């Protein structure tokens, strides 16, 4: 599904965020990306979502070399990758429903299709009743779930989540993690960056650890998840 080969990322100013990263993520896999702050987790996710470009190396997504994805194809690639940030990046001048509907409007879905899909997504994250409300009145956990609903409403192939529980209390964090597990159970590939080891340690999914831009263990499923 996603393969990184000798990927390096050096930012303007010389900071090397990723060093010679090679890893593979299978379709329908749930992978946790761990490491301290500044380890390169966010950069790796940004590379997959084409929010950044690698300085060297190759990233393939469904056998497509991402370096060849340019122009309008970048937008089309992002429709296949649902992105969830620590900050849910919602639009506070729109209702919950309108926030979740945005990716479908972008893709040109009809009003009836948008209605049914948004309702299904909000139902999944337990916020159907909050649909007409403005996100500003929701709690942090609810806002994060709106962000998740928005990420899944267009049925992406992959969801990348950058510290999705970073601002949440432990109880809400567990709820969100359970939601990700349910999404994975229905076949969505997930790559979740978190530094909260206590949250993911009990979970039996592959964990990739980054330390100062390098992989602590080789990032291939057969070598680490046994």
Partner 1 sequence: MRQKKPRGATPKTAAPTKSSAPPTNKPKATTADQQIKHATLNVWFIMHYNALANAFKRLSRAPLATLLTIMVVGVALSLPAALQVVIKNLATSQQALNEQAGISLFLKPNVPQTEINQLLENLQQNPMVEKTSFKSATEAWQEFQSSAGFQNSTSLLDNNPLPALILVLPKTRDYSPEQVEKLATELQNLAPVDIAQVDINWVKRLFSIVEFFKHSAIYFSVFLIFTVLIVIGNTIKMLGQSFQDEIVVSKLVGATDGFVRRPFLYSGMLYGLAGGICALSFVFIGIFIISPQLNEIAELYQTRISIIGLNFSDILSLLITGIILGLGGAWVAANRMINNIAI
136 lies in the binding site for partner 1 (CB under 8 A): no
> Least Å distance between CB 206 and partner 1?
17
> Least Å distance between CB 70 and partner 1?
10
152 lies in the binding site for partner 1 (CB under 8 A): yes
135 lies in the binding site for partner 1 (CB under 8 A): no
Residue whose pair of structure tokens reads 């090679």 in the numeric block: 22
Closest to 216 (Cα-Cα) out of 207, 204, 226, 225:
207
Counting Cβ atoms within 10 Å, is residue 13 exposed (0-12), middle (13-18) or buried (19+)? exposed
The answer to whether 191 and 25 have CB atoms below 8 angstroms apart is: yes
Closest to 50 (Cα-Cα) out of 64, 70, 35:
70
Binding part of the chain for partner 1, among 136-144, 167-175, 184-192, 215-223 by CB under 8 A, reads 184-192
Nearer Cβ to partner 1 (93/223): 93
> Least Å distance between CB 67 and partner 1?
14
55 lies in the binding site for partner 1 (CB under 8 A): no
Rounded distance between C-alpha atoms, residue 119 and residue 121, angstroms:
5
Residue whose pair of structure tokens reads 């990184």 in the numeric block: 4
Rounded distance between C-alpha atoms, residue 19 and residue 35, angstroms:
14
132 lies in the binding site for partner 1 (CB under 8 A): no
91 lies in the binding site for partner 1 (CB under 8 A): yes
Closest to 94 (Cα-Cα) out of 102, 103, 85:
102
6 lies in the binding site for partner 1 (CB under 8 A): no
Q: Which position among 9, 24, 77, 207 is part of the footprint of partner 1 (CB under 8 A)?
A: 77
DSSP β-ladder status, 30-34 and 189-193: parallel
The answer to whether 17 and 9 have CB atoms below 8 angstroms apart is: yes
Nearer Cβ to partner 1 (58/79): 79
107 lies in the binding site for partner 1 (CB under 8 A): yes
Q: Which position among 8, 10, 58, 79 is part of the footprint of partner 1 (CB under 8 A)?
A: 79
- Give the tokens for residue 161: 């989540």
Judged by the rule CB under 8 A, the positions of this chain that interact with partner 1 are: 27-28, 49, 51, 64, 69, 72-73, 75-80, 83, 89-91, 93, 102-103, 105-110, 112-113, 116-117, 119-121, 123-124, 150-152, 154-155, 157, 182-183, 186-188
């Amino acid at each position: 599904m996603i393969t990184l080969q000798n990927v390096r990322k050096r930012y303007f100013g010389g900071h090397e965020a990723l060093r010679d990263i090679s890893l593979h993520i299978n379709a329908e896999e749930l992978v946790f990306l761990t490491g301290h702050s500044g380890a390169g987790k966010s950069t790796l996710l940004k590379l997959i979502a084409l929010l950044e470009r690698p300085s060297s190396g190759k990233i393939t997504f469904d056998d497509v070399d991402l370096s060849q994805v340019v122009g309008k194809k970048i937008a089309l690639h992002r429709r296949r990758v649902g992105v969830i940030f620590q900050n849910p990046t919602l639009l506070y001048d729109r209702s919950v429903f309108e926030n979740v509907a945005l990716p479908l409007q972008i893709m040109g879905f009809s009003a009836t299709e948008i209605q049914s899909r948004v309702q299904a997504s909000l139902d999944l994250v337990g916020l159907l009743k909050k649909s007409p409300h403005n996100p500003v009145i929701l709690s942090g956990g609810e806002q994060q779930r709106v962000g998740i609903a928005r990420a899944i409403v267009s049925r992406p192939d992959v969801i990348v989540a950058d510290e999705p529980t970073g601002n949440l209390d432990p109880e809400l964090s567990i709820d969100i993690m359970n939601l990700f597990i349910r999404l994975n159970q229905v076949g969505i590939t997930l790559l979740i960056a978190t530094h909260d080891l206590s949250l993911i340690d009990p979970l039996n999914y592959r964990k990739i650890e980054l330390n100062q831009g390098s992989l602590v263990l080789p990032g291939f499923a057969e070598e680490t998840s046994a």
